[in-house]
Structure formats: C-alpha cells, structure tokens
A and B are shown apart, each in its own frame.
Chain A
Amino acid sequence: MGASQDDFEDFVAHRSGALLRTAFLLCGGDQGAAEDLLQDVLERAFPRWHRIAGPPEPYLRAALANAATNRWRARSRRVAETVLLEAHQPSVVAHDAAIADRDQVVRALAKVPPKMRAVLVLRFFDDLSEAQAAAAMGCSVGTVKSQTSRGLAALRKVMDGDETPGYDAPTIRTLVPQEGGS
C-alpha cells in the first residue's frame, strides 16, 4: 500500500483545490460543506485507490456529484447560515459588478435542486459531455439533457430576479416590536 498511499497523498496535495471548487458549486456556495464533502469522498476513495481504473480525477468528480446529490442523507450537524434579514437591509452596492455577478451565479445555483445542480456543474464547470455526465451520475443521457435544460431555465429565472425557480416565494421574516414595546 505504500506506493498507493504516496500516490493518494500526492494527488490530494495537488488536486484538492480543483476538486474543492467543484464541491463548492455542488454545495451551492457553502465552502464549509464543500470541504466536508470533499474530505468524505477522498477518505472513501483511499481504500480502493489502486483499483480506480484510469485517471482518478474524473472518478472523484463523479463521486463528488453523487455524494452531493445524496448529501441530505448525511447526518451532519453543519448548518449553512442564511441570514434572511439581509433581504430586509439596504442592498449592498457591489464595487465590482463582476464580483456581484459571480456571487449571483453561486446564489442562483444554490436554489436549484441538488441533482439538477450537479448536472449543471458537471456539464458547464467540469466540461463533461452529456454522455460523460450521464455515466458519472449513473443516469441516462436523456435525463442529463432534461436536467440540463430545466436547470438552465431555473437558473435564468432566478438570475432574472425571480427568486423561486418554480417554487413559492419565501417570506422575509423580521421581528417587529409591538407599538410601545421596549
């Protein structure tokens, strides 16, 4: 196992950053969750490292996508904070419109259902073909096509200002003291 272990550690040291970026998108922009997800996938891959046929990176990206879509099964206590008050505060004026766009894309991606999001990430971030994405996700090419089409539509809808890709709009919740309250 020595050589295999060295190879594994070398891979983790050099490719974790790239894989973390995929995980970051798969987790809807939650970097903490992405780190947990990647660590979990890498740890699971270690015992079978020498059995992975071909370059390990595509295999791990597929594993990340599958793990991300099944992430709800995990019993993690991590809670990604969502400060709904933000919507009630004056909107932040971004100094750099490009940065605002980037954030908007990630936020929009977070609102897309996990499987749809995974397909979008595999197709347009990892540059997988439809067939490759289907193999990675363990589904048919037709499913990838439909998920891609619906995912893009949902993404555009959110980015056009409709916060809900086909869902009911969330209510902004704020605490309002009664008149005369302390």
Chain B
Amino acid sequence: MDTHELSAALRAATEPIDAPPGFTEKVRHGARRRVLRRRYRVCATVLAVLAIAGGLTALSAHLKPEVAATHPDNKASATGKLPSDDPRLHEATKGGFAQNQSFHNQVVAVWQSSDHMPISLVQAYSGATNVDIGPAGPVNEYWAGNTPGGPVAVLLQAFSLRPASGGQSTTVVEVGLVARNFSTGELTLVGHATVGDSDRPSESFAFDIDNKTMLTMAESGFHVYSAAPTVDPDTGKVTRQWLDLPYVDGVAVVDLAEEHGDGNTVVELPQRPDATHSYLPSNPNARSPFQPVSGNDWAGKPDPRLAWPVQTVVCAPPSGVDTANLPQQSTVFDNALHAGGYSDPYVHHPPTVGTPGVPADSESHWYIGCRLANGNMLILGEELVGTIGRLYAVTADRDGRVVSVGYGGPINPSDLLPVQYQLPDGSGWLVAAYGSHLGSGAVSGNDVLAVPRDPNTTSVTVTSQHGVPHTVDLPP
C-alpha cells in the first residue's frame, strides 16, 4: 500500500463518520461551563492575592474589586488571557534558605537553563505555531528551604510570547520548583506551571522518590489534600481522609509517605468534599495524580501494579458467551464499583502506552464475564486503588441490574496465579494468570480457567510463559 492508497483508504474508512445529533449543543454547554469555571478560579486567585498582599494594598483593592478585576494586565479573563504580572515576582525570598546566596545562584542557573515553556501553551495562547519566547523580567526566588525531599526553591518569571509572523505579544508568568533529582542528585526543574492557566498543571509540585514530597503554593487554590485512599479489608469499600494543607510563607510542604501515599495517589481540592460526594469522572477542581516521576523505569510499559496489562478480556463460560452484551458488562462493572463506593472517584487507572502486544492508547482494564447457573452474569475485574490492584466481582441479572459486588482482595501481579475468585453460587473457581497456560493437558494459550467444584480438584497447573509448570493449590 503506497501513501496515495493509504490516503484513499483512510478517507473511505471515515466516510460514514459524522458528528452525532446534539453534538454542537453539547460543545456549547461544555464551553460555557469552562468559561464559568475559569471565571470562578480567577476570582479565587484575585482574592488569594489580595489576602496575601495584606495591609493597605489589600484593603484598597478589596474596596475597589471591580478595578482589580477588570485591569487588563491583572486578570485571566474569559477570553483566555493570563495574568502578565504577579506580586510574587517582586517579593523577597521566604523560607529557611532565603539568605543562602550559593543555593540561590544554583537554582537560578537551573531555571535559566531549563526549557519550561510548553509548546502547547505557546500555541494555545498565541494562536500561532511559531513563537519567539523571551524573558519579560528577572527571575525571582520566591521561596527556598529544606523539605523531606531535600532543598528546594520556588521560582517565578514573566515571559513574553510573540508570534514569529508578527502581531501582538502575550506575557505570561511561569512558576516552577527546582529540587534534587532523587536518582542523580542534581538540582533540576521538577515541575512548572503557568499562573492562572486552569487548563494545565496547577501550582502544586511533587518530587523525591515516588513523588512522595509535595509542595503546593497558596495561590493554587487548594486547601485540603488526601494522601491516599483507604480500602476496607473486608468489604473493599474505598474512602479518603482529608487534611488541611499546612501553608507557611505561601507554601505548604507535605511528606506524603507519612500517610502511606505518594504523588500517584494524592488528591488536592479547594475545599473538603461532602462525605457523600458522587463520582466525578473529570473533577475540574481536583489535582491528581502527579505525572509519574522520570525515575519510573516502567513508564510506557505494562503497569506492574496490575495483574493484567491487556485492556479488556472477555472469556466464554462453558455454556458459551453472549458477545452482543460484552460492552455492557464492563460498563455494568464500572458503574457498580463507582455507585457502591468500591473505587476511588479521584484517581483512575493509568492507561498503558506502548505496551507490547497491547493496542496503543488502551487502558489496563480487564474483565472476565461468566454466566452463572441461575442466569446471572458474573463480571470479574481489577480496580487499581491507590497503588494496589484489587479484585472485584459484580453480579448482574439478565437486564444488567447489579445484584451484588464481591471483594476478592488485593492482587499480587507476581503471584503464579494472581486471580482466584470463588464463584458465588459455589459452582467452582475462576482463576487467571496473564500469559500463562492453565490446566493440564495439551491445550495451550489459555490463561483463564473455570475450575468446577470438585472435591478432587484442589489445585491448578500453571505453566508460565517460560514453559515451567507449577502446581498452585486453591484455597480450601
């Protein structure tokens, strides 16, 4: 197939595709929601700045909020303009290392040598693809001090973006954190954000091993955090405890490891949520999780925390499988876990990217569907809660109504037979081991097995990908 044939085939393949009815209306509503959300954040940011500034300046601004809010250079308006100035650009350094000139010189050198202007931001706010970027002012060390993750510094600087083709320039303020890379020991820019840009990472940074130390700026708008979800060992239900962010001198430093969390599990919110918060698939006010640190040698590979890297696996029960209903099974499973409080509403499975043998962009969700003797469907799946994959089984009737949710406990992906679930009707076990051959005999390539209830069947033969057979006893 040459490139002309490829073009023709791609056009032919997309010919039947068209926007669904009501799509324009959905976009219109969504766009308006985003504008309102942005306005809300702008107000929150302005109020936070006022609160920090204090004294007569704050009082004056507070008495004339309409002036502060409409000044063209000091607000992120609904049109997407970002603040071009920030009081923190001019404030004296705070923190324990405020007087440490040597450290100051080091972190400024790191900042100036770092590429901290994402091309996507440049494109988004200039409307051009080629943009000249340059400092619009000196870099300011806003905060410097020691943390559980070592010495760090918060720096701010204004940058000017000018389309190469000419036109009006845009000034934005970048804030970033310089800390030691835990693997190299070198000071590096571990994170940065554009002030007032609600579409991109906020002013909160995680660093150290597993991102276990977090520094959040008061201007982020976050006031509470939850280091990690808690799972009830008996029921499998998931809860989170919320703590106030301990702001001092404009920053809050938290050692997430003290609360058994890290950057992959922490969530920050502007306010403590209701105890009965509902599932929010894209909680606009949440900050979570941080991107995996560069030291994660499994980035882009199968997530080792999950037992099964394949997106979706559906298996035929002995009586056959109703393939027409397979998509609904995963939906039933997900909805049952969310509605029942068995999943973390803030942090979801990281998808697998570039996983060998796995379609690109797929997520590490797998399901095993099995028809029970009474006609109900058992849907077995894995939910990553915190950093541990956990086994859940949803039983639904023929109409997809959830009958029960069972908890199979944490899954250890390194076990020979990591998935073992006793069927609720006592008819046997469902067992699975990704990539292995289960059962005896010459049949190969089967890594999911139904083990009927039989007093004589007390174990399963698991043949690993390397061809070594092992016998694994089933629980009594």
A residues sitting closer than 8 Å to B (CB atoms) are: 1, 8-9, 12-13, 16-17, 20-21, 24-25, 27-29, 31, 33-35, 38-39, 42-44, 46-48, 50-54, 59, 62-63, 66, 71-77, 79-85, 98, 101-103, 105-106, 109-114, 117, 120-121, 123-125, 127, 135-136, 138, 152, 155-156, 159, 164, 167-182
Contact = CB atoms under 8 A, between A and B. Distances in A.
B28 interface: yes
A89 to B, nearest CB: 8
Interface in B287-318: 291, 310-318
A48 to B, nearest CB: 4
Interface string B72-101: 000000111000000000000000000000
Interface of B: 1, 3, 6-7, 9-14, 17-20, 23-24, 26-28, 30-31, 33-35, 38, 78-80, 119-120, 123-130, 163, 165, 167, 199, 281-282, 291, 310-318, 321, 323, 326-327, 330, 334, 347-348, 350-351, 353-354, 356-363, 365, 368, 370, 373, 427-428, 435, 439, 441, 443, 445-452, 454, 457
B361 A169 contact: no
A33 B323 CA distance: 21
The majority secondary structure among interface residues of chain A is helix
Contacts of B321: 85
The majority secondary structure among interface residues of chain B is loop
A43 B27 contact: yes
Given A53-B167, A173-B448, A82 B311 contact: yes
Nearest to A105: B9
Nearest to B198: A47
A43 B125 CA distance: 15
A178 B19 contact: no
B314 A84 contact: yes
A62 B450 contact: no
Contacts of B291: 73
A171 B463 CA distance: 14
B83 to A, nearest CB: 15
A39 B26 contact: yes
Contacts of A102: 9, 12-13
A136 B282 CA distance: 26
B20 A138 contact: no
A152 B27 contact: no
Contacts of A112: 360
Given A8-B31, A12-B27, A73-B291, A103 B13 contact: yes
B84 to A, nearest CB: 14
A157 B327 CA distance: 29
A101 B17 contact: no
Contact of B361 (A13, A21, A24, A28): A28
Nearest to A168: B356
B27 A79 contact: no
Contacts of A13: 24
A178 to B, nearest CB: 6
Contacts of A21: 14, 17
